[in-house]
Structure 1
Amino acid sequence: MVADLFENLFDELRREDIAPGAALLHGFARAQQHELIAAIDAIVARAPFRHMMTPGGHTMSVAMTSCGSAGWVTDRGGYRYAANDPASGQPWPEMPAVLRDLARNAAAEAGFAGFDPDACLINRYAPGARMALHQDKDERDFSAPIVSVSLGLPAIFQFGGMARSDKPRRYELRHGDVLVWGGETRLVYHGVLALKDGEHPLLGRQRINLTFRKAL
């Protein structure tokens, strides 16, 4: 039984290199789960989750908010980063140190030392919510990596190629997993399949995803 416990712990904390410049850090954020959730709750109290509209007029199934110097927004005017929350007209909440430090440490672990994110998009997936294949290309500088933190219910992440038509590989992201990608895979198409229903002991029937970027 003791051997099984150590084997499970190793599996949760192992690093899986999934592509050049891309690493899945299993369980990397789990030790800080309570601090992370408290920080997210404080952000949401100031900038509540909302379902944004795409330029084509479709309401996104994923609810979003942001923190940092800029927040990612979408509406009829297009995709972009904005310094102020369009719902309140006020600056987005500052990025808490616990979030920024996690992103920096995860990036360094994946081989991207010196990452300094200025934007954190916070996505809330309810059962059935999904994210279609897309590229993260609204940032000014593609030399910095993307750091994606998963909390709550597990999700199936699709990691594709440089063309939308490239068949994506699928990875299960569990609570506390961190996925980092950059370099030659910085602009790969990626997405999340429809979230299956379930009950997480800390977050209930939802998945929270933190996506850190160098936007400005």
Structure 2
Amino acid sequence: MLHDLPWFFIDDHGQEQGPVRGSKLRDWMQSGNISNDIRVRLHNWDGHFTVEQLWPNSEAAFLLPPDIYTYTSSSSTSVQRLDGPEFESTVIALEPIIASSAKVPPEEKKQARPAVGTAKADVEREIALILATSPVLRRADFDPMVRQHLHAFHSLGGASQVHEALEQVRATVERRPRESVKSWPAYLYKLLKNAFATSKAARYPARHKARG
């Protein structure tokens, strides 16, 4: 997983520290111990780049592949932005550990998404993923009541169920302007509540029919 990659970083005294797992650096960023101008590198990079350069959207830092591919040599350092298939091939070249997941077709990734870790960690990861890729949603939208429903999805089917629920939310909310919703937490709560009832009925059809 990308967040488990070992990163090196430059501390306040200009000294390189590490390796440190990406998940730990992400925790430090979210707690305010480090900022997104900290310079980092992977072991096979010759140079350091700020987190802001690698992930303009800080929600994606150390969670998704960088938005830019950095290639370095002893004589030069340059950065090239990539998209589409070219970007995917760059991700594979970036680090072998990413290659194993990057080569899997999207439909297989969804089926094979593991339900690992604690419920809290899985829910937080899925929230971070959707925040990193949705232009509409904000972290404040995921209040305790919304998170409670996501934990209910986790108890129903693990991380993959949480991921599926949030993808349904994405498909709905991205058709709406931000200003069209008075309370986004309440709106997400309603969407997830309805989606949970549907998912539970699909998972336990006999029990749902008996209660009906």
Give the TM-score normalised by the residue count of structure 1: 0.24
The higher relative CO (CA closer than 8 Å, separation ≥ 6) is in 1
Give the TM-score normalised by the residue count of structure 2: 0.25
More helix by share: 2
